[in-house]
Structure 1
Amino acid sequence: MILRRPALLGEETGSAPAEFVLVAGLLTLVTLSVMQLGLVLHVRNTALDAASEGARFAALADAGLERGRSRTEELLTTALGPGYAGGVSAAYGDAAGQAIVVVSVRVPLPLIGMAGLPEGLEVTGRAALEAPAAAPTAG
């Protein structure tokens, strides 16, 4: 006597390729998202480090704002490329009565396959002036 399975259960032949396509698509999306996040964090951290280094350089007793700004642009060009070094500004400021140098950097966010965020990302580096009497303070 031959036993047959009930017709209600159906067969699962051919379901493996469909499951593979669904799982592979999801894993690809997750992998690309993690890579995108890593790229954005790399650009942010590099810009923040360049701004801080430029502020420290400009705060030296024999340096000035222009030298700090150019140092920041040089670091950004070396680490990220010339397209990231365009939005650098430097100014004197005041923090709790202490004269400081403030270097701001605006960089575009490298979003792959996404539109929007035209303003990019802005980071700021600050450093206390070595010779505060030689530099004007912002008021």
Structure 2
Amino acid sequence: MPARARRERGAAVPEFVLVVLVLVPLVLGIAQVALVLHVRNTMVAAASDGARSAAMLDAGPDAARQRARDVIRTTLADRYAASVVARESVINGLDVIEVRISGDIPPLGLWGPGVSVEAVGHAVRQEEP
């Protein structure tokens, strides 16, 4: 066996450890970003859907809250449906329904901060002709 091969013998384990030390946090970071984007996009869709359902003539903020909670409960965990706030407001002279949803996303790894996410949905209120 040549001298160079003898010197590099057993180097696979330290190289593997060094590569894993870089790859594991990178993969966990990518997964955390994907989770945050998924939860945020789902919350935005739920807020918009709740606002649209409450914008009808016979509906109100209670209908918006219920619809947003239903959407969140079917796609995410129930804990994200706890902080849904719906109200009537005026934006640029138009009566609108506004739905706000907020929640905290826990970290995937053993360390790291949780991420707070807030989503807002608006819909113009229907008027009687």
TM-score by length of 1: 0.80
CA gap 1:32/1:58 in 2 versus in 1, 3 angstroms: same
Matches of residues 16-31 of structure 1 in structure 2 within 5 Å?
Answer: 16-31=12-27
Distance in 1 (CA, whole Å) between partners of 2:38 and 2:58 is 32
RMSD: 2.2
The structure with more radius of gyration: 1
Code of the aligned partner of 1:34: I
Distance in 2 (CA, whole Å) between partners of 1:114 and 1:95 is 41
Distance in 2 (CA, whole Å) between partners of 1:12 and 1:84 is 53
CA gap 1:43/1:81 in 2 versus in 1, 3 angstroms: same
Distance in 2 (CA, whole Å) between partners of 1:117 and 1:61 is 40
Query: Per-residue displacement from partner, 1:105-137 (whole Å, max 9, x unpaired)?
Result: 01121322345458x2211101101128xxxxx
Match of 1:82 in 2: 78
Code of the aligned partner of 1:78: T
Q: 2:99 aligns with which of 73, 98, 103?
A: 103
Code of the aligned partner of 1:72: A
TM superposition shift of 1:25? 2.4
CA gap 1:114/1:18 in 2 versus in 1, 3 angstroms: closer
Pair 1:73-2:63 in alignment:
no
TM-score by length of 2: 0.86
SS, match of residue 105 in structure 2? coil
More divergent stretch after superposition (34-43 vs 20-29): 20-29
Query: Per-residue displacement from partner, 1:23-79 (whole Å, max 9, x unpaired)?
Result: 022112211111111111110000110001000111111211101111101111111
Alignment coverage as a number of residue pairs: 125
1:72–1:88 CA contact under 8 A, matched in 2: yes
Distance in 2 (CA, whole Å) between partners of 1:23 and 1:88 is 43
The percent identity for this pair of structures is: 35
Instruction: Name the structure with the higher helix share.
Output: 2
Code of the aligned partner of 1:130: Q
The runs of at least 4 consecutive aligned structure 1 residues that moved more than 4 Å come to 115-118
